[in-house]
């Protein structure tokens, strides 16, 4: 793993980070007030970075995740360049499925495509137990390589059961999740077995990441917004609660994120996470009023704002910060970094967040 700082990085931003202890990210995830607002970006590693595209030109996405040196390298790239407060392991939510033998491909510009979709009870046989040390030794190895180089916490992640189920049932990305919801509504027994299998797989993956040094786990349940509140409550919440109960044993903060969840916030809180990631549609002060105070918040700049001229971007960042909680808060985007984003605008966001006044800590950090 190359350790030399990227020449584009403001090196004092990186030094600032290493001098800060304990990690502001973890303090904020625990609900504490922090001297400055911690910041990282969902999908911070990836095509927005030329240094990622250079690695990607030589290796496919799954090949990168299966090669610990490459996975570690691309995980560290955004930390070096932006000086963010966390690394997120470079992997994909479907990687554990590939590791247990589900035939899939991750198509650029499309997403995961599954060769034989899951449509009935018999199709569940492919979802055997995931044994990370045998099925995916690269996972822990990549975490260890990253942690050895890193001054900020590594966030591990897993896919939420509904979101993974949607890829398996649809066979690929889908807007309406029609087949998934049809299965959910019509065959409760298969549905519950499917979600419980995915929950067990996610738990095994999270455990391996934490044992190898990840200090928080984020559950990406990106597509739950396609469910009504009643559907989520009846058909998904129970398994997600099992997932968060299981994750609690790992002793690290647990973040729950989905897109289009404005109608679900109270239910997401009932699933039992320590932190909820808010998408860009709901202002943070409104989210704060609806989510119990013990749960920290993360979010929620519209990723599209990063494509706008600098003055617009500044205004949008300040609007998010103005509505943000005074404690228990981590700045992030409301969804992932768009591939067409310029790295300079992401650096600018980090600077803006870093220089923000913190009411409780009495001024700029």
Q: Which residues form the catalytic set?
A: 43, 47, 56, 92, 167
Measured CA to CA, the distance from residue 78 to residue 46 in angstroms comes to 9
Nearer to ligand CP3, 61 or 210 (CB): 61
Q: Choose which of 88, 212, 239, 265 interacts with ligand CP3 (CB under 6 A).
A: 88
Q: Choose which of 10, 106, 229, 304 interacts with ligand CP3 (CB under 6 A).
A: 106
Least distance to ligand CP3, CB of residue 60, Å? 7
* Site of tokens 């995931």: 130
Nearer to ligand CP3, 59 or 124 (CB): 59
Least distance to ligand CP3, CB of residue 31, Å? 24
Contact set for ligand CP3, span 173-192 (CB under 6 A): 173
- Residue 268 binds to ligand CP3 (criterion: CB under 6 A): no
- Residue 222 binds to ligand CP3 (criterion: CB under 6 A): yes
Q: Choose which of 34, 48, 56, 320 interacts with ligand CP3 (CB under 6 A).
A: 56
CB within 8 A of 333, min separation 6: which ones? 41, 42, 280, 299, 300, 301, 302, 303, 306
- Residue 108 binds to ligand CP3 (criterion: CB under 6 A): yes
Residue 98 to residues 27, 106, 222, 288: CA-CA distances in angstroms?
34, 10, 19, 37
Asked, as a colleague might, if the bond just before 335 is cis with ω within 30 of 0, I would say no
- Residue 234 binds to ligand CP3 (criterion: CB under 6 A): no
Nearer to ligand CP3, 63 or 326 (CB): 63
Contact set for ligand CP3, span 274-333 (CB under 6 A): none
Stretch that binds ligand CP3, among 30-38, 86-94, 306-314, 349-357 (CB under 6 A): 86-94
The alpha carbon of 237 is separated from its chain's Cα centroid by a whole number of angstroms, namely 19
Q: In what order do the strands lie in the sheet with 216-220?
A: 87-88, 154-159, 216-220, 254-257, 275-277, 296-301, 329-333
Measured CA to CA, the distance from residue 172 to residue 107 in angstroms comes to 10
- Residue 112 binds to ligand CP3 (criterion: CB under 6 A): yes
What H or E segment, with its residue span, contains residue 88? strand 87-88
Nearer to ligand CP3, 298 or 358 (CB): 298
- Residue 162 binds to ligand CP3 (criterion: CB under 6 A): no
| Eight-class DSSP state of 225 | G
122, HSE (Cβ side, Cα atoms, 13 Å): 1
Least distance to ligand CP3, CB of residue 174, Å? 11
- Residue 66 binds to ligand CP3 (criterion: CB under 6 A): no
Measured CA to CA, the distance from residue 199 to residue 162 in angstroms comes to 10
As a whole number of angstroms, the longest Cα–Cα distance in the chain is 60
Q: Which residues contact ligand CP3 by CB under 6 A?
A: 42-47, 56, 61, 88, 90, 92-93, 106, 108-112, 157, 173, 220, 222, 336
């Amino acid at each position: 793993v190359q350790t030399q700082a990227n020449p584009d990085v403001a090196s004092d931003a990186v030094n600032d980070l290493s001098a800060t202890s304990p990690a502001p990210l973890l303090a904020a995830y625990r609900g504490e007030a922090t001297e400055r607002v911690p910041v990282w970006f969902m999908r911070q590693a990836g095509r927005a970075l030329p240094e990622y595209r250079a690695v990607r030109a030589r290796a496919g996405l799954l090949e990168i995740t299966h090669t610990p040196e490459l996975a570690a390298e691309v995980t560290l790239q955004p930390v070096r360049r932006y000086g963010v407060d966390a690394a997120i392991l470079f992997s994909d939510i479907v990687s554990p499925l590939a590791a247990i033998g589900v035939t899939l491909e991750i198509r650029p510009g499309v997403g995961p495509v599954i060769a034989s979709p899951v449509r009935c009870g018999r199709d569940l046989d492919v979802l055997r137990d995931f044994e990370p040390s045998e099925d995916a030794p690269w996972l822990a190895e990549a975490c260890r390589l990253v942690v050895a180089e890193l001054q900020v916490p590594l966030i591990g992640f897993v896919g939420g059961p509904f979101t993974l189920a949607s890829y398996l049932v649809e066979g690929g990305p889908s807007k309406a999740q029609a087949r998934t919801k049809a299965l959910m509504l019509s065959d409760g027994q298969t549905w519950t077995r499917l979600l419980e299998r995915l929950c067990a797989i996610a738990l095994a993956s999270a455990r391996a990441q934490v044992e190898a040094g990840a200090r928080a786990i984020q559950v990406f349940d990106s597509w739950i917004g396609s469910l009504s509140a009643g559907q989520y409550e009846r058909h998904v919440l129970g398994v997600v609660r099992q997932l968060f109960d299981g994750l609690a044993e790992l002793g690290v903060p647990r973040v729950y994120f989905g897109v289009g969840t404005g109608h679900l916030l109270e239910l997401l809180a009932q699933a039992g996470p320590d932190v909820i990631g808010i998408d860009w549609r709901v202002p943070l002060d409104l989210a704060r009023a609806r989510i119990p105070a013990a749960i920290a918040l993360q979010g929620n700049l519209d990723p599209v704002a990063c494509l706008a001229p600098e003055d617009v971007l500044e205004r949008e960042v300040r609007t998010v910060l103005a509505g943000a909680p005074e404690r228990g808060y981590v700045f992030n985007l409301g969804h992932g970094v768009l591939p067409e984003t310029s790295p300079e605008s992401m650096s600018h966001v980090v600077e803006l967040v870093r220089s923000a006044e913190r009411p409780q800590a009495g001024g700029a950090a």
